Structures are given as structure tokens and as C-alpha cells.
């Protein structure tokens, strides 16, 4: 099958639901991991600073591996590539909870980040391709499915933490279920193939300037997301002295508000525009950060994390939408934005941990609040994310790094 294949509307609609399910599976892995970070920290016997160091390794793994996603898709086709990369991500969930010390935890998280990043790029590129073929905004909804998956994963993690379950058994069972679901859903995504004369994408290419500016906005939002997912439970446990179950429930509340906001995001953006939506979102996120910083009571801090989730929810989907409509090479812009935003989410936990070790977690979330204010200041670069009539792009644009 060449990249010029024409899909029937029914096939494109089916591919939309399949990609949405893939987003949910991907998010479930993140939620499953995030709620058990305190258990993993205790099992490996690492301090907050050492945990922050270990959480830098997913960023390193993702940064090195994400540029390879386009080449893998070019060689095997988008559907097979997604199968391989998503299965690698779901199975890698097992690794961090097995780590008995700092060194093995760093190695496990390196693999965890590499597989996460490559599968993330591939599924987002396929999502943009489906959006273009439907000529209808769906990216916020797809990311809503990711948040719903993260919510389910974190809810299961909350229950496991409340019951005192061993995270190794919890993650083994979760990985098995999610791997099977992911493989089934990948059977219905668009099976895009390169043209016979199409050159393989480069292993590394600098993103265009438009992607850097858009990615900078995404960086602020994803930093807040990564910090909240990996440190909200630790914050409530260590800073406010709550039980493990209540601490894990805070992460669940954060993912819940993100999911609800993203499911409503497409309609909100179509009505108010990308720029205004992001500016209002930034105000809500900054208010949430303030509540986390000044709240001396678990209920106040949990409300703050919920507002953070509500405020940052639509930013990343709009970053991908804006990238897909900017410049002469949308696929390269998508890859650039994906790299910047995803790396931000993986860098955030280690940065929060390092700053917490030097000062406190309160100061760390003060930084998150400042970055949330950046959403208000720089929302204008997402103007391309407003709904406009879309031109159907060549299927080869579905894989970052390919030439249109």
C-alpha cells in the first residue's frame, strides 16, 4: 500500500476511535506509574533529591529516542510502528517498581522514557492525520482520552496504594492488560506507508522557528502537568502529612479535571478561539498554583492541583493543532513541538525534586505557578490553532520528519 491510499469515511471514523483508545492506553500507563511513585521511592531507598535525579532519566531516554520514531514508521509503516512502540511503553511500566536502588531505577526510567516518547510522537502524528482527513477538530478530545486513561490508571493506583498492594504485582497486571488492549486497538489505525521513492527521514532535524515558539508555550503547560502528576502525591504525604491513600487521590483529582476540560476543549476553542482559551486557562492554572503554595490544609492543596489540571488541559492539544497548521512542513513542526513539550514533562519531575532538595516542595511549586503565568503572556503564538478550513495533507505527513 502506498502513502497515496484513499480511505473511505467509515475507515477514517473507525481510525479516529482506534487512535482515541490508543491515547487512553498510553495515559493509563502514566497514571499507573504516577500514583505509585512514593512506593517506588521507598522501595529503592532514595531521597527526594535522588528521586529527582532518577526522574531526569526518562527525559534523557525520550530526547535520544524520539527522533527515531519517524524512521521506525518509515520502515515498518505507521500501524506496525505504533504496535511495536506502544507495546514497548506498556511493558516498560513493570521496570521502575523492580528497581532496588538508585542505579537500577535510573536505567529503568531511561527505558521507560524512551518508549514513552517514541509512542507518543507516533500516536499524535496519526491523530493530526485523522483530524486533517476529517476536517474537524479532534485533538483536544484525543488528549481528553489520554487524561481519561491516566484517570483510570491513577484510580487503580489509588486503590492499590490504599490496600497497601505491592507495586510490582500491581504494575505487572496493569502492563499485561494494557499491552493486550493496545495491540487490539492498533489494528484499526490508519496503515500509512511511505511512497516507494520516498527517502527515509533524518535521524535528527532542527524544528522550524514556529515550532520552537509553539513548543515554548507547551513547555510551560507540560512542566506543570509533569510536576503535578509525579509530585502531587509526594507533596501531600511529605508536606501536609496525609495518608498514602489520600495523597494518591490528589493525583486522581488532578487527572479528573484535566480529562473533563479536554473533552469540552474542542467546543470551547471553536467558540472563543485558541488565544483567549489559553489565556483564561493560564489564569486558572496560576490560581491553582497559588493555592498549592499557600494552602496549609490538604483540601486547599487538592483544590489547587485540580485547578492546575483544569487550566493546562487544552494547551497541549492546541500546540499540536497550531503546529499542524504552521509553516511549510507541518510534520516537522509536529515533531518539534512533540519533542519540546514531551521533554518538558519528563524534565519537570527531576527539576522539582532538585529544587525541593535545595529548598522545599513549596518553592518548587512556586516555579510551577510562575510558568503558568507564562501561558497568559505568550498565548498569542497559538493563534494558528484556531479552527480554519483544513487542507487534506498527504498521508506521508503523518510521520514526523517525512517530506510532504
In the predicted model, is pLDDT for residue 265 greater than 60? yes
pLDDT, tens only, 7-45? 788 889 999 999 999 999 999 999 899 889 999 999 999
Q: Which three cell numbers stand for residue 361?
A: 516542595
Banded model confidence at residue 203, pLDDT cuts 50, 70, 90: low
Give Cβ neighbours of residue 125 (< 8 Å, ≥ 6 apart): 73, 78, 331, 334, 335, 338, 398, 399, 400
| Contact (CB, 8 A) for 155 and 168 | no
Whether the CA torsion 232, 259, 127, 73 is positive or negative: it is positive
Round the average pLDDT of the chain to a whole number and report it.
85
Give the pLDDT mean for 260-270. Answer: 86
Whether the CA torsion 208, 211, 213, 215 is positive or negative: it is negative
Banded model confidence at residue 332, pLDDT cuts 50, 70, 90: low
pLDDT of residue 223: 93
Give the pLDDT mean for 251-258. Answer: 84
pLDDT, tens only, 79-122? 999 999 999 999 999 999 999 999 999 999 999 999 998 998 88
pLDDT of residue 5: 61
> What single-letter DSSP state applies at residue 189?
S
More confident residue, 115 or 320: 115
Region of 273 on the Ramachandran plot (φ > 0 left; ψ -120 to 50 alpha; else beta): left
| Alpha helix (H) residue ranges in 35-134 | 37-44, 48-54, 57-65, 68-76, 78-92, 94-98, 102-134
pLDDT of residue 20: 96
User: pTM higher than 0.85, yes or no?
Assistant: no
> In percent, how much of the chain has pLDDT > 90?
42
Give the pLDDT mean for 219-246. Answer: 88
Banded model confidence at residue 384, pLDDT cuts 50, 70, 90: low
Instruction: Match 497514571 to its residue by C-alpha cell.
Output: 31
pLDDT of residue 55: 83
Burial 151-183 (b: 16+ CB within 10 A, else e): bbbbbbbbbbbeeebebbebbeebbeebbebbb
In the predicted model, is pLDDT for residue 199 greater than 90? no
Amino acid at each position: 500500500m502506498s502513502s497515496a491510499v484513499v480511505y473511505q469515511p467509515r475507515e477514517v471514523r473507525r481510525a479516529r476511535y482506534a487512535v482515541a483508545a490508543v491515547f487512553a492506553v498510553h495515559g493509563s500507563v502514566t497514571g499507573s506509574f504516577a500514583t505509585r511513585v512514593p512506593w517506588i521511592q521507598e522501595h529503592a531507598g532514595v531521597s527526594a533529591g535522588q528521586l529527582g535525579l532518577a526522574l531526569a532519566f526518562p527525559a534523557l531516554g525520550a530526547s535520544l529516542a524520539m527522533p527515531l520514531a519517524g524512521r521506525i514508521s518509515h520502515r515498518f509503516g505507521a500501524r506496525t510502528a505504533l504496535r511495536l512502540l506502544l507495546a514497548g511503553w506498556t511493558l516498560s511500566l513493570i521496570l521502575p517498581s523492580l528497581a532496588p536502588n538508585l542505579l537500577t531505577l535510573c536505567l529503568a526510567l531511561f527505558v521507560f522514557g524512551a518508549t514513552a516518547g517514541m509512542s507518543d510522537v507516533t500516536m499524535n502524528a496519526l491523530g493530526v492525520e485523522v483530524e486533517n482527513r476529517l476536517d474537524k477538530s479532534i485533538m483536544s478530545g484525543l488528549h481528553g482520552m489520554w487524561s481519561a486513561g491516566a484517570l483510570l490508571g491513577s484510580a487503580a493506583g489509588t486503590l492499590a496504594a490504599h490496600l497497601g498492594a505491592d507495586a510490582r504485582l500491581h504494575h505487572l497486571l496493569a502492563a499485561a492488560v494494557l499491552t493486550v488492549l493496545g495491540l487490539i486497538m492498533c489494528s484499526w489505525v490508519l496503515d500509512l506507508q511511505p511512497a516507494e521513492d520516498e527517502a527515509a527521514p533524518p535521524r535528527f532535524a532542527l524544528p522550524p522557528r514556529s515550532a520552537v515558539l509553539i513548543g515554548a508555550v507547551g513547555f510551560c503547560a507540560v512542566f506543570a502537568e509533569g510536576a503535578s502528576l509525579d509530585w502531587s502525591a509526594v507533596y501531600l504525604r511529605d508536606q501536609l502529612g496525609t495518608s498514602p491513600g489520600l495523597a494518591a487521590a490528589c493525583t486522581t483529582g488532578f487527572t479528573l479535571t484535566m480529562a473533563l476540560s479536554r473533552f469540552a476543549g474542542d467546543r470551547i476553542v471553536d467558540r472563543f478561539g485558541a488565544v483567549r482559551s489559553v489565556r483564561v486557562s493560564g489564569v486558572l492554572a496560576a490560581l491553582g498554583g497559588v493555592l498549592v503554595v499557600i494552602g496549609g490544609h490538604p483540601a486547599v492543596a487538592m483544590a489547587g492541583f485540580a485547578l492546575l489540571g483544569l487550566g493546562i488541559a487544552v494547551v497541549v492539544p492546541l500546540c499540536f493543532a497550531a503546529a499542524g497548521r504552521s509553516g511549510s512542513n507541518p510534520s516537522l513542526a509536529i515533531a518539534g513541538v512533540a519533542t519540546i513539550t514531551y521533554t518538558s514533562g519528563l524534565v519537570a519531575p527531576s527539576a522539582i525534586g532538585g529544587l525541593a532538595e535545595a529548598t522545599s516542595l513549596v518553592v518548587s511549586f512556586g516555579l510551577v505557578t510562575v510558568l503558568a503565568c507564562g501561558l497568559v503572556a505568550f498565548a498569542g503564538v497559538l493563534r494558528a490553532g484556531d479552527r480554519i478550513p483544513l487542507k487534506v495533507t498527504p498521508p506521508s505527513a503523518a510521520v514526523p520528519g517525512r517530506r510532504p
